[in-house]
Structure 1
Amino acid sequence: MSTIYDVGRRAGVSRSTVSRVLNGKNDVDPKTAAAVWQAVRELNYHPNASARALVRQKTDMIGVMLAHVSDPFYEKIIKGIESVAAARNMGVVFYNSDDDLQNHKLLIASVLESNKVDGVIVVGSYLGDKKTILEIINRGFPIAMIERYFTDSKVPCIVTDNRQGAVLAVEHLIRLGHRRIGCITGNLLYQTAIERLEGYKATLGNHQFAIEEELIAIGGFHYEKGYEGMKQLLSLNQRPTAVFACNDMMAFGAILAINEFGLSVPRDIAVVGYDDITFAAMFYPQLTTVRQPLFEMGSLAAQSLIDRIELGEDADIIKKILPVELVVRKSCGAVVDNADKDWNETRTVVHL
């Protein structure tokens, strides 16, 4: 079995540097950190739980696991977490997996070894970490999930209705007269991506539209994936007249691809996104999108986690499926009320 010293030798760094990388410290050179993670993967290294202190000291800190700390999707979630943590006199430590799924699993495991936080919020719906999450649950370490629903009664889970969000988006495009509607999905290793694709397909089926696989481009929740997915759809002999991008960043990438192709949004192709991040209202054209209550998701998760830390088994476990809503702006081609007013007023909200 590999040790932390083996990892250090393979990566050409000290044991303490390996420890800092595994514990999510941001004071390590990115190239060095990458070499450490490469060595961890090659050696199949897992931190040794027996090295933990026998008596765990309270730190008044909570950890937050993110796929990419610079992704604007997390902005409002982080604000929600920090607002509750500050009110409860708790600090927040962020762990960044840099969109590497193996790093994600290893970072979650390393939280158990670090003794630096009293509990952790895992943001994201990656389905490949179930074994690691269950290990944390079984050890009794406080954990809360955002965007992922665990049936285990001990785990606070804050999610939104992704299927209904996709239904709102696609129904809106159908009401605008579109019949050939493309979809740029998220990474299908994520629960949210699967559910939004299911909502897209279900809506087409409810209207007795054919589900054409060529109209589904597999994306990855990133700007460049939206750009690549849209180029794929534009290459079809019969292009879609509208596209549902399963998050806002992919919608932005899709709009760039459409513009580069010599077409215009929404005149030639309508676009609807998902999330309603801050930039959605600032983009040109302003993005029609499905709004998630991101701040509330963060604050509810933090509230439930800190309750569990402070009250133990006596704490109420919050499990919430929050509603979403469609925010209609200009990218879909619908007429928007008060279209000449300031951007933060130029929207209507649609519910089904």
Structure 2
Amino acid sequence: MATIKDIALKAGVSVSCVSRAINGYSDISEETRKKVLRIVEEMHYYPKASARHLVTNHTHTIGLVFETHDQSGFGHPFISKVLTAFSQEIGKQGYDLLMFTNNQVPFDTWGFVERVKHRDVDGVFLIGRPPDLDALLATEVPVTGLDFMLTGKTVSSVMSDNRRGVQEMVRTLYDMGYRRFGFAYGPLDLHPAMERLQGFHSGLWEVGINPNPDWIVYGNFTYDGGKQAAREILRLTERPDVILFSSDLSAIGAMQIFQEYGMKIPEDIGVTGFDDVDAATFAYPSLTTVRQNMDELGRAAAKLLLNLMSGHAPLSQHLTIPTEIVLRNSTIPKQILDTGKDG
């Protein structure tokens, strides 16, 4: 295996010159840099991470801290897509992603902060709020959070425009002729869930409709949560003619229960979701939803964090990514439904 001394000998330069060429220092000529890097490639030389760390004071590693309310973890399609885009973006800049788990022996008594310090990562990507968030932010390690606001030194955050997305869905459904609106909300200690519930109320206010408290139920963000929400709606004597769910998975779970009960979608009840995961297209009927741009969320989070780590970004930067209404077969203009009934 080639060493840095082998590279220096073949290039006719010092070991320190090779090191500075590899690590991008500007005090060597471009001609020398190209020569050294060509030989590095020819000899398949890979500097040890520990040695590179000593020279650059960077590990080229980003820590991932992931806290979730349910057991879906990385299997959740939203998380999976965001992380794929995030890892691809940081990979372009030569960074690896290190996941911090909750039960890492022999450090199982250590919190995330102790492990962040131990691994000496260059930055941290947060999905969900860890219990020791304040202590993590106090370390001044660059941090970017997904789906919640962060303020402080060397932090940034990114999320979808959750409130406006639901508000626009209400307006769209109103224009389609719907007037009896239900809503299945997610865990309200999560910022997106709270914003989506606020968007529902704002949307109703905008179109001049008072919410019916009986039609606002808990649906979690999960398939099983959606099934339970549907059962609560079915217990009611008077029901909404459309119900908006805070996630696609919960909407699809509810559709199964409605259909098992003998209800037709959208003839008897319209259903919408939020996310636009792949399953929304394959559901029967296909699901009307609010699309989150998951690829853009991942890329934006990566760029924010990379900028923070470089020291070139303003402090406490927050990005809000627009959403999009996607109309499919789980809703239909009421005029068409009424015409069908008349016929």
Q: Structures share a fold, TM > 0.5? A: yes
Q: Which residue of 2 aligns with 1:321?
A: 320
Shift of 1:57: 6.4
Inter-partner Cα distance in structure 2 for 1:188 and 1:110: 29
Q: Which residue of 2 aligns with 1:254?
A: 254
Q: Which residue of 1 aligns with 2:88?
A: 83
Q: Which residue of 1 aligns with 2:30?
A: none
Q: Give the conservation status (yes or no) of the 8 Å contact 2:63–2:116.
A: no
Aligned length: 267
CA 116–266 in structure 1, closer or farther in 2 if over 3 Å, else same? farther
Q: Give the conservation status (yes or no) of the 8 Å contact 1:142–1:308.
A: yes
Q: Which residue of 1 aligns with 2:78?
A: 73
Q: Which amino acid aligns with 2:208?
A: Q
Q: Give the conservation status (yes or no) of the 8 Å contact 1:95–1:107.
A: no
Give the share of equivalent positions with the same residue, in percent: 28
Q: Give the conservation status (yes or no) of the 8 Å contact 2:161–2:321.
A: yes
Cα deviations across residues 280-299 of structure 1 (Å, max 9, x unaligned)? 11222111111111111111
Shift of 1:272: 0.8
The answer to whether residue 235 in structure 2 is matched with residue 235 in structure 1 is yes
The answer to whether residue 127 in structure 2 is matched with residue 123 in structure 1 is yes
Q: Give the conservation status (yes or no) of the 8 Å contact 1:69–1:96.
A: no
1:35-54 to structure 2, matched below 5 A, reads none
Q: Which residue of 1 aligns with 2:331?
A: 332
Inter-partner Cα distance in structure 2 for 1:83 and 1:285: 33
Inter-partner Cα distance in structure 2 for 1:115 and 1:57: 13
Q: Which residue of 1 aligns with 2:141?
A: 141
The answer to whether residue 309 in structure 2 is matched with residue 304 in structure 1 is no
Cα deviations across residues 209-235 of structure 1 (Å, max 9, x unaligned)? 222211111122111101101111111
Cα deviations across residues 90-142 of structure 1 (Å, max 9, x unaligned)? 111234669xxxxxxx8644543441632211123x5xx5x732322221112
CA 153–112 in structure 1, closer or farther in 2 if over 3 Å, else same? closer
Shift of 1:205: 2.0
- Please give the TM-score of this superposition, normalised by the length of structure 1: 0.70
Q: Give the conservation status (yes or no) of the 8 Å contact 2:160–2:322.
A: yes
Inter-partner Cα distance in structure 2 for 1:216 and 1:297: 29
1:92-131 to structure 2, matched below 5 A, reads 92-95=97-100, 108-115=112-119, 117-124=121-128, 126=129, 129=130
Inter-partner Cα distance in structure 2 for 1:182 and 1:326: 18
Inter-partner Cα distance in structure 2 for 1:116 and 1:71: 29
Q: Give the conservation status (yes or no) of the 8 Å contact 1:65–1:121.
A: yes
Q: Which amino acid aligns with 2:124?
A: V
- Please give the TM-score of this superposition, normalised by the length of structure 2: 0.72
**Could you say which structure has the larger radius of gyration?**
2
Give ranges in structure 2 of 5+ residues lacking alignment: 1-55, 104-109, 335-343
Q: Which amino acid aligns with 1:82?
A: S
Q: Give the conservation status (yes or no) of the 8 Å contact 1:123–1:147.
A: yes
Q: Give the conservation status (yes or no) of the 8 Å contact 1:176–1:334.
A: yes
Inter-partner Cα distance in structure 2 for 1:206 and 1:164: 12
Inter-partner Cα distance in structure 1 for 2:209 and 2:78: 32
Cα deviations across residues 230-262 of structure 1 (Å, max 9, x unaligned)? 111111110111110011111111111111111
CA 234–91 in structure 1, closer or farther in 2 if over 3 Å, else same? same
